[in-house]
Amino acid sequence: MASSTDVPGRRGRAVVIGASIAGLLAARALSETYAGVTVIDRDTLPDHPAVRKGVPQGRFAHALLAAGADVLEELFPGLRAEMIASGAFTCDIQGDYRWYLDGYPLRQAHAGLAVIGLTRPLLEHLIRARVAGLPDVTIVSPAEVTSLETAAGRVTGVRVRAGQAEEPLPADLVVDAAGRDSRALVWRRELGYPAIPAAEIRANAVYLTRHYRREPHFLDGTEGATFVPFPAQPRGALVLPQENDRFARRPTASGPPSCWCAASSSRAVSRRARSAAVSPPPAAPAARALRKLTSRG
């Protein structure tokens, strides 16, 4: 029987650290050139769409822009239809969706670019199911990559801790897709490489997200809206359609911490988020439109 290792040009093993979006897509790409791909994640990966510890941003409003959806469709034919079948929402980014720039509405016109509104956990769940179904790709969880294995100045694999056991896993290629928890810079230093010069710029931005049941009259029946912050109004908001007739509303604030909403109770967060998003109203059209939604929140 022919095995995948017989496919011309495919040989060796690749290990991917992290089974989130980047890790799963890396595994899909590597499956074309490596005979075996192992993806390792330290979380217990759920078998349904769910927020998990390693991806805390999963609770926040997410949308997939047209170019990202095209790339995913190329890698996983039929994925767009699967997203829609799972309840994701799609609409034209400028024809059906509203944009407020500098507080004023952008003229609505068909752009031919379809945005897909769905939660981050649903997107990851659908991609993970596709990757798990690839021959010669194995997803291992919960297991943590604790360090790189090296010999003669080359990376030869990783060390993996699962439960009490820690073992080396040899690899011809290691891809670090561990997101902001990546230890790549520390591991590099431990291998004797000089530190990479880094510049840090504080974005001074804060997000909150609250989920609503979507009712047809919200936003005058349009599908969603973005209120882009600008110097006179550093507080903006997104109202994104998500699967199962939900809206995710994400007020954002940028600038000094005095602009941020620092409350912790959900009621207070909601109240402050609402006021962050609508006051002071610098430009009536945007504030009016957002108030239409938030007054029902």
Residues that bind ligand FAD (CB under 6 A): 17-23, 40-43, 54-55, 57, 60, 62-64, 68, 120, 144-145, 177-181, 207
CB of 2 to ligand FAD, least distance (A): 32
CB of 41 to ligand FAD, least distance (A): 4
CB of 255 to ligand FAD, least distance (A): 17
CB of 267 to ligand FAD, least distance (A): 21
E strand segments, 102-245: 104-105, 114-117, 137-140, 144-151, 154-162, 165-170, 173-176, 205-207, 210-213, 225-227, 235-242
Report DSSP state, residue 193.
Answer: P
78: left (phi over 0), alpha (psi -120 to 50) or beta: left
Residues contacting residue 24 through CB under 8 Å, at least 6 positions apart: 39, 124, 127, 128, 131
* Dihedral angle, C-alpha 10, 16, 19, 20, nearest 10 °: -100
CB of 284 to ligand FAD, least distance (A): 28
Residue placing its CB nearer to ligand FAD in the complex, 68 or 282: 68
CB of 31 to ligand FAD, least distance (A): 17
Residue placing its CB nearer to ligand FAD in the complex, 158 or 290: 158
Residue placing its CB nearer to ligand FAD in the complex, 4 or 57: 57
Contact 76, 70 (CB under 8 A): no
CB of 176 to ligand FAD, least distance (A): 9
Residue placing its CB nearer to ligand FAD in the complex, 68 or 297: 68
DSSP assignment of 207-260 equals E--EEEE--TTGGGG-S-EEE--BTTB-EEEEEEEETTTEEEEEEEEESSGGGS
d(CA 242, CA 253): 22
Residue placing its CB nearer to ligand FAD in the complex, 41 or 243: 41
CB of 240 to ligand FAD, least distance (A): 7
Contact 296, 213 (CB under 8 A): no
Residue placing its CB nearer to ligand FAD in the complex, 88 or 287: 88
Residue placing its CB nearer to ligand FAD in the complex, 63 or 287: 63
Residue for token pair 């209120």: 227
Residue placing its CB nearer to ligand FAD in the complex, 178 or 287: 178
d(CA 3, CA 111): 46
d(CA 253, CA 149): 43
